[in-house]
Structure 1
Amino acid sequence: MIRTRLFTAALLGSALAFGSFAAVMAPSEAFAQKAGGEKKEKAPAGDTVRKEVGEPLTAAQELMKGKKFKEALAKIKEADAVADKTPFEDFMVEQMRAIAAYQAGELDTAEKSFEAVFATGRFPAAQQLTFTQALAQAYYQQRNYTKAITWTQKYFTGGGNDANMRTLLLQSYYLGKDYPNAIKEVSAKISAVEKAGGTPDEKDLQLLAAANNESKNEAGYMGALEKLVRYYPKRDYWLDLLLRTQRKPGFARDRLALDSYRLMNKIGLLDTAGDVMEMAQLSLQAGNPGEAQAIIDKGYAAGLLGKGPEAERQKRLKDVATKQVADDKKALAQTETEALAGANAGPILRVAEAYAGYGQFDKAITLAEAAIAKGNLKNPDDARLRLVTYYLDAGQKAKAEATAKAIKATDGPAEMARLYLLNAAKAK
């Protein structure tokens, strides 16, 4: 009945546009002290570089200035080959190698060298954080999501607070197929925003939906869809949510078909001639000619009806609805009196539906409440669902919410009531 283009996880197919790392230490600053040069202020005693180590490192500097990073790595290897290097010489070799390897795209080499440099305790904390961020971003761009996660976590452990890195971590979990952690992290982010009274980012909600979908967690996916509908009530989200709701095991799809069409109409999804005609026919069958006429008139006004090979059939249905409305209005007051005097609640509820079709929601509320109170309805929670819609149409949201909470049936009325309330919330 409801058509949809299924919401997919394709939203995460492209890499984040993180800026390239431009804060790499300039080669001319790589040495605390060049061979034969002056010591920098406060340099620890013994921090010197011998000529046989310093000369190839100086040559590597010049090559790096010319962006010849692979050639620079070869020179750094020469310096590393010198026997009996001091701890400071090892530090300078690894620092230079880390920079050159990073720029050459040899991330595994850069990673080992950065780890060695960080372990010395000589590297300034701020620069260490910058290099950590750079490695995380580089691994992400290379689609090595495991390493991207590792270095992003180190970035946050080290005190980093760039919001883009939080997004990188979330997408690394998702793209690396670590869906449980993706769900955990993005759920925490969304919850924090909601608790602060803010609106979660749509991409975060999309990621939550996609991760749950990949995990085959239908309940989690539906929950994410409901949040998307609440904050970003787009057509595709609503269509997917309605379709999946109707596909739930045990959902009384046929019995609640008219309720589903009514919600589609409120959302603005009743946009084909077939759906308009089917809803109108269901309304007539339910004894609600006023609603049928209103839907048909809306279909003509929107240009959905009155043209093509079905135009004549559509005209006949319109004529039937017009006649039934005329007959119904003449007899409605008498029908109401008889229904209220009868022993069964069903006729009372049908009269309530008729009044609702004419936009008389106060009358519909009174009669629906009377039908429920009588206590012999076949599906009393269907009546409560209708009452929820009447309350909403009458602007009585608190009563609608209270009535929805009283619905206990597990075959669809509770789910439909929740969706009506969702739609009413986004309309405010």
Structure 2
Amino acid sequence: MKLNTLVACMVGVMALSLGTGSEGSLGFSSAAAQEAVRPEIGKHLKDVQAMLKAAKYREALAKLREAEAVGGRTAGENVLIERLRLAAAQGAGDGDSMVRAYEALKAAGKVGGGENLQYLEAIAGTYSRVNENAKALTWANRYFKEGGNSAAMKAVVTRSQFMSGDMGAIIKDTVAEIHADEKAGRAPSKEKLGLLMSAAERAKDSNAYSLGLEKLLQYYPGKDVWAAAISGAQQKKGFSDRYVLDLFRLRFLSGNMRGEADYMDYSQMAAQAGFADEGLKAVEAGYAAGVLGQGASAERHKRLKDFMLKRVADAKAGFAAAEAAAKDPRDGNALIPLGLALAQRGDAKGGVKLIELGIEKGNLKNEDAAKLALGQAQLLAGEMSKAVASFRGVKGTDGSAEVARLFSIHARSKK
């Protein structure tokens, strides 16, 4: 319950009447209860009510102690005192006094179902507001255990866990919420994914962080998110340099080429790996972006472009011989890069067939790299579902699975 909500309820619902009751006592009228209040108690409670209206909460708590000092209090008078104490204590940010009042009302049987949840919410919210996080978490959990479902209380739980350093609980709960959202056909909120990543970063939980980033890419793709994902993949422990070219491909696909060096490095790396057409496309894209062909290095850029044009021509001229040599009956290793090169040249379906033939022959040096290449060729062929299936089959711990996961997200976005 928000600050002052309980106060307003108590002031509005339990207004003191100036009339006298059947035994000469002041009447305390309420939609929730009708209680007889003696004048010596009633004068204090009238003052408390005025203080609550004036937001003088600590003064109200002190005045309630004066009411408590009156001897021979009835059960009804005690109930009214505790109800007002709850309101004053919430306003004062005194969670412990709220608990005292709540427990007294509970013991007296004066707390109903809906009212019970309101009180629990008010107590948890008050503890959270004054940064008593362990107590806030205890009472918020009690609120949910007793049937509450307030989104505000969920926020209290999360904040309390975060402030107390319980990152494991946040990760567990947030992952469960993400899966529940997806099961219900909803996209998890960006804030929820950000919370997961923040908690995972503090807990040094790379798996949870990767999940959050993957979901961000899936539901809220953007240049910056892709840049972070690509950079994070390369920084993972055990990442092999053999997949740097694949990261360049992802940078290119996501619009994250960072300048002259990226276009030059991507082009040369692709050509060296046997992908001349890809290298030429990188150079041409650099020219189209106005990054290459300009300034003092323009001549260098032209030499690179001319070199790539020659490599492409040579690759086309020698393709038939290369294909014949690649069809070695002993293994399919040579067919994998040849098929991907063919796919990049424009014959994507033909490239897919060559890679599939290579995988079928077996005795591969790196089966994960072969599946990664197959997925990329299928992506170029527009076979998105098949590409996703191929990427999912990559399980390597050398960075291949991480790269494949990013390609899979890209492929799913193109379906």
TM-score (norm 2): 0.87
Task: Answer whether contact 1:231 1:426 (CA < 8 A) is retained.
Answer: no
Task: Answer whether contact 2:61 2:89 (CA < 8 A) is retained.
Answer: yes
Q: Which segments of 5 or more consecutive residues in structure 1 lack a partner in the other structure? A: 1-17
Task: Answer whether contact 2:332 2:358 (CA < 8 A) is retained.
Answer: yes
Report deviation, 1:228.
Answer: 2.2
Letter in 1 for 2:59: E
Letter in 2 for 1:186: T
Report deviation, 1:292.
Answer: 0.9
Letter in 2 for 1:304: V
Letter in 2 for 1:30: M
Q: Which segments of 5 or more consecutive residues in structure 2 lack a partner in the other structure? A: none
Q: Deviations over 1:260-304 (max 9, x none)?
A: 211222222223221111110011112222111111111221222
Cα distance change, pair 376–152 in 1 and its aligned pair in 2 (3 A): closer
Farther off after superposition, 334-343 or 78-87: 334-343
Q: Indicate yes or no: 2:109 matched with 1:121.
A: yes
Q: Deviations over 1:190-213 (max 9, x none)?
A: 221111122111211222222222
Task: Answer whether contact 2:13 2:32 (CA < 8 A) is retained.
Answer: no
Looking at structure 2, the residues matched to 72 and 204 of structure 1 have their Cα atoms a distance apart, in angstroms, of 40
User: 1:22: which partner in 2?
Assistant: 5
User: 1:300: which partner in 2?
Assistant: 287
Task: Answer whether contact 2:279 2:308 (CA < 8 A) is retained.
Answer: yes
Looking at structure 2, the residues matched to 118 and 32 of structure 1 have their Cα atoms a distance apart, in angstroms, of 23
User: 1:206: which partner in 2?
Assistant: 194
Report deviation, 1:42.
Answer: 11
Q: Indicate yes or no: 2:407 matched with 1:414.
A: no
Task: Answer whether contact 2:340 2:352 (CA < 8 A) is retained.
Answer: no
How do 1:168-317 and structure 2 match up within 5 A? 168-252=156-240, 254-317=241-304
How do 1:29-48 and structure 2 match up within 5 A? 29-30=13-14, 36-38=25-27, 47-48=35-36
Larger RCO: Structure 1 or Structure 2 (Cα < 8 Å, ≥ 6 residues apart)? 1
Letter in 1 for 2:151: A
Q: Deviations over 1:178-235 (max 9, x none)?
A: 1222122222222211111221112112222222222222222222222222222233
TM-score (norm 1): 0.85
Task: Answer whether contact 2:27 2:37 (CA < 8 A) is retained.
Answer: no
Looking at structure 2, the residues matched to 41 and 330 of structure 1 have their Cα atoms a distance apart, in angstroms, of 95
Q: Secondary structure at the match of 2:242?
A: coil
Number of equivalenced pairs: 409
Looking at structure 2, the residues matched to 329 and 67 of structure 1 have their Cα atoms a distance apart, in angstroms, of 84
User: 1:370: which partner in 2?
Assistant: 357
User: 1:164: which partner in 2?
Assistant: 152
Farther off after superposition, 168-177 or 286-295: 168-177
Report deviation, 1:390.
Answer: 0.7
Task: Answer whether contact 1:32 1:43 (CA < 8 A) is retained.
Answer: no
Q: Indicate yes or no: 2:315 matched with 1:328.
A: yes
Cα distance change, pair 249–332 in 1 and its aligned pair in 2 (3 A): same
User: 2:343: which partner in 1?
Assistant: 356
Q: What percent of counterpart residues are identical? A: 36
Q: From 83, 92, 104, give the equivalent of 1:104.
A: 92
